[in-house]
Amino acid sequence: MTLDLFEHLPTPHEPELLEPGAVVLRGFALAQAAELLQAVEVTAASAPFRHLITPGGKRMSVAMTNCGPLGWISDRSGYRYGPVDPDTCKRWPPMPAAFRQLALNAADAAGYPGFTPDACLINRYEPGTRLSLHQDRDEGNYDHPIVSVSLGIAAVFLWGGAARADKARRVGLRHGDVVVCGGPARLRFHGVLPLALGEHAMTGAVRINLTFRKAG
């Protein structure tokens, strides 16, 4: 990991503009971090983390689960949202009130008032796991922003352009940082570099990412 990405980050609660429509809210989730992580454990007890398979048959390195009325699913038949966990054949666990309120508050702070997510993707990163550059297109309606919360060890977020080949900016994300993207930045390519070894007092050698979306 490039250390200087983290040595010169803005102070907590100081917004960092990525481009019009997209912002990093530094330390925005710090006060709720313990409550959020506890809710992740409760959710995972009902809908365990799993490594999804892409339509091309590849196993995703990042483990994930969902909560809320809809959950994101990937298998050989494609990417989609659905109300039922295919592993348990039960509805996804309800979205905790703390999740929903944080997503609303962060979206409002970024200039997107009234955000009402109906899906929360919970990703668990371990050392070496990564997320390739991609667009979030499965929601169908791009009028709503995406709110992404970082918890645990730091990561290097890739913020790309309108095309996959565009050069991506490297952005250090620490525990409690929240990224909000919408409007003209809603379909920007983005990803995460392979997670470096690290240790955090609240998560151990793991990064948890909560991604809130309006999919229905």
pLDDT in tens, 28-45: 999 999 999 999 999 999
User: What is the C-alpha end-to-end distance of the chain, expressed in Å?
Assistant: 37
Going by the DSSP 8-state scheme, the letter that residue 59 receives in this structure is B
Phi-psi region of 152 (alpha: psi -120 to 50; beta: other; left: phi over 0): left
Q: Considering only CA atoms, which of 105, 99, 114 is closest in space to residue 28? A: 105
Share of the chain above pLDDT 90, in %: 93
Cα 77 from Cα 124, distance rounded (Å) = 23
Return the structure tokens found at 172: 């250090």
**Which residues 6+ apart lie within 8 Å of 195 measured at CB?**
125, 126, 127, 128, 129, 130, 153, 155, 207
Position 1 scores a pLDDT of: 43
Domain ranges of the chain: 4-213
**Band (6; pLDDT cuts 50, 70, 90):** low
- Tens digit of each residue's pLDDT (9 = 90 or more) over 44-71: 999 999 999 999 999 999 999 999 999 9
Q: Considering only CA atoms, which of 18, 14, 20, 27 is closest in space to residue 154? A: 27
Q: Across residues 162-183, what is the average pLDDT?
A: 97
> What CATH class does 4-213 carry?
mainly beta
**Which residues 6+ apart lie within 8 Å of 204 measured at CB?**
152
